[in-house]
Chain A
């Protein structure tokens, strides 16, 4: 089933989007309790990149003794490789024993740097961006939000996902949101099933795109990344995706300063939209929007085949 949610404050207004997205996703817990993910967009700093990565799955941490030594080694190897290519690490935060948040300055080829780090065994980059911070882990929204200290996160927009695993495993690599590797600040959440996944995946892999999981939703992130790489605007890429991607889907995409939604031509998956002069909220169910706006509000369901994009 899966639940997805998105919010954007217009006109560059910042708010405690960490708490807001936690509340929205907690209200959607019944749509999928397996894992929860957040893509939060803070105010970007032009010089500094934010890197979110993990060096092990949560499940691995419970099996055996070696892994606790390995995560330290893997993290040290990431540090070495960052420095080897000339990235200047400004700050290192341990979000958990196996997931980290780095701030770094880098003027070179970002894709090469990312590929070089991900080449390490067990290392997966969750996101790289100037505003984007991508957090995902097992458990419901409150568990993940508390684990990673997301309450109080100031930002302009966010997307989030509560997952009911159907097509792939319950682990962090199959959890949403997906970062559109290797593009700064692009992330995707999806509710649905894609039926031409393998055909499209093989095509995209031949173009040199990387897939970290067997989760069909990752395809949307990679597809959007591919279209942006070829020079498409976000909205055009999304419109095209409705014709090209087969299956049932409603998905949300966020970039450094935009939030977009797209719905398949069958209108098979739900999406409720609330829009006011200062705020746009989207969710699989209205209860999620009501969790931050308890008062009476006017909402509607976008129709099949619709694409909408809002700017922060």
Chain B
């Protein structure tokens, strides 16, 4: 470790990021970046499950915390019944299973948890996830993985509009189609869409990469198609196989999209600012 431009060294960015990138990587030696002093010591072999059918949202989330506190590392929640804001703010190692569907804001603001959801999720699932893994067996709503910064977020069904809006890192994988404005203002990270994409894909994206397996309704401003490299193909095959998924027409026929960087005007002053300087 210790290399600052790890992903650059691997060649993942050579075609686009010639000297100007927003990518900044933490050094592993900066331990304080990875530590929550108040996190719980949990044992993955110590399992617990409870029925959430008649519980309030706050009680369910408190129950998960209480179980982590008593050292349970594998927790199963039955009958979440599409309630909102379940499994949020977990900053801990944890295997968390939801047997059913979540409503809005499910598993938001989490760091390090490994979540499996057997049903679907509503809007804004895993918003601002820092690290960990969230796998959803069915569909997802809009704003799927909004502003995520790390980890893997996987939806095996279709997702709604604005998937990965403001994505700042990590990987979003969608097994079927996505709606309009997917990848809007994306800043880092990767998005793999195996189905079709709606209008304005990757609109105003700053950086990052989007791979699409199906048809694209239209590209957004400054989102451009670029060449797939062998490394991309190896990466896609590896990543998809981790979740038992495959591109319908093979990874070699996927389309790779990045930012054209024509909207990057950080070096130039606005006309009104020029007046002030002069």
Interface flag for A303 (CB, 8 Å)? yes
* CB-CB nearest in chain A for B118: A296
Bound-state CA distance A299–B120 (Å) is: 8
Bound-state CA distance A267–B82 (Å) is: 21
Interface flag for B119 (CB, 8 Å)? yes
A interface secondary structure, majority? loop
Binary interface encoding of chain B residues 93-112 relative to chain A, with 1 for a CB under 8 A from any of its CBs, else 0: 00000001101100000000
Cβ–Cβ contact A287 & B81, under 8 A: yes
Bound-state CA distance A286–B100 (Å) is: 12
Scan residues 235-250 of chain B and give those whose CB is less than 8 A from a CB of chain A: none
Interface flag for B142 (CB, 8 Å)? yes
Cβ–Cβ contact A304 & B101, under 8 A: no
Contacts A266-B180, A267-B142 given; indicate if A300 touches B158 (C-beta within 8 A).
yes
Bound-state CA distance A304–B162 (Å) is: 11
Cβ–Cβ contact B161 & A303, under 8 A: yes
Binary interface encoding of chain A residues 237-281 relative to chain B, with 1 for a CB under 8 A from any of its CBs, else 0: 000000000000000000000000000011110101000000000
B interface secondary structure, majority? loop
Bound-state CA distance A284–B273 (Å) is: 45
* CB-CB nearest in chain B for A287: B82
What interface size band does chain A fall in?
10 to 19
Residue A287 contacts which of B84, B161, B162, B177 (CB distance < 8 angstroms)? B84
Cβ–Cβ contact A285 & B104, under 8 A: yes
Cβ–Cβ contact B53 & A294, under 8 A: yes
Cβ–Cβ contact B100 & A304, under 8 A: no
Interface flag for A210 (CB, 8 Å)? no
Cβ–Cβ contact B158 & A267, under 8 A: no
Contacts A267-B160, A287-B83 given; indicate if A301 touches B142 (C-beta within 8 A).
yes
Residue A270 contacts which of B79, B100, B119, B142 (CB distance < 8 angstroms)? B142
Scan residues 59-92 of chain B and give those whose CB is less than 8 A from a CB of chain A: 79, 81-84
Interface flag for A66 (CB, 8 Å)? no
Cβ–Cβ contact B138 & A298, under 8 A: yes
- A117 CB → nearest B CB, Å: 43
Number of B interface residues at 8 Å Cβ cutoff, please give it. Answer: 29
Cβ–Cβ contact B101 & A286, under 8 A: yes
Cβ contacts under 8 Å, B157 to chain A: 300
Interface flag for A81 (CB, 8 Å)? no
Bound-state CA distance A227–B134 (Å) is: 46
Cβ–Cβ contact B139 & A300, under 8 A: yes
Cβ–Cβ contact B103 & A296, under 8 A: no
Cβ contacts under 8 Å, A267 to chain B: 142, 160-162, 179-181, 198
Interface flag for A209 (CB, 8 Å)? no
Bound-state CA distance A287–B105 (Å) is: 13
Bound-state CA distance A65–B116 (Å) is: 62
Cβ contacts under 8 Å, B101 to chain A: 286, 296, 299
Question: Which of B101, B103, B104, B162 gathers most chain A CB within 10 Å?
Answer: B101
Cβ contacts under 8 Å, B81 to chain A: 287, 290, 294
Interface flag for B170 (CB, 8 Å)? no
Residue A303 contacts which of B100, B122, B198 (CB distance < 8 angstroms)? B198
Contacts A287-B83, A287-B103 given; indicate if A266 touches B161 (C-beta within 8 A).
yes
Bound-state CA distance A157–B84 (Å) is: 27
Interface flag for B206 (CB, 8 Å)? no
Interface flag for B141 (CB, 8 Å)? yes
Scan residues 148-181 of chain B and give those whose CB is less than 8 A from a CB of chain A: 157-158, 160-162, 177, 179-181
Residue B122 contacts which of A285, A294, A296 (CB distance < 8 angstroms)? A285
Residue A272 contacts which of B53, B84, B141 (CB distance < 8 angstroms)? B141
Given contacts A290-B81, A304-B161, 7 further A-B contacts (CB under 8 A): A286-B103, A296-B100, A296-B101, A303-B160, A303-B177, A303-B179, A304-B179
Some 28 contacts from A to B, beta carbons below 8 A apart, are A267-B142, A267-B162, A267-B198, A270-B123, A270-B141, A270-B142, A272-B122, A285-B104, A286-B82, A286-B103, A287-B83, A296-B100, A296-B101, A296-B119, A299-B101, A300-B120, A300-B157, A300-B158, A301-B142, A301-B179, A303-B160, A303-B161, A303-B177, A303-B180, A303-B198, A304-B161, A304-B180, A304-B198
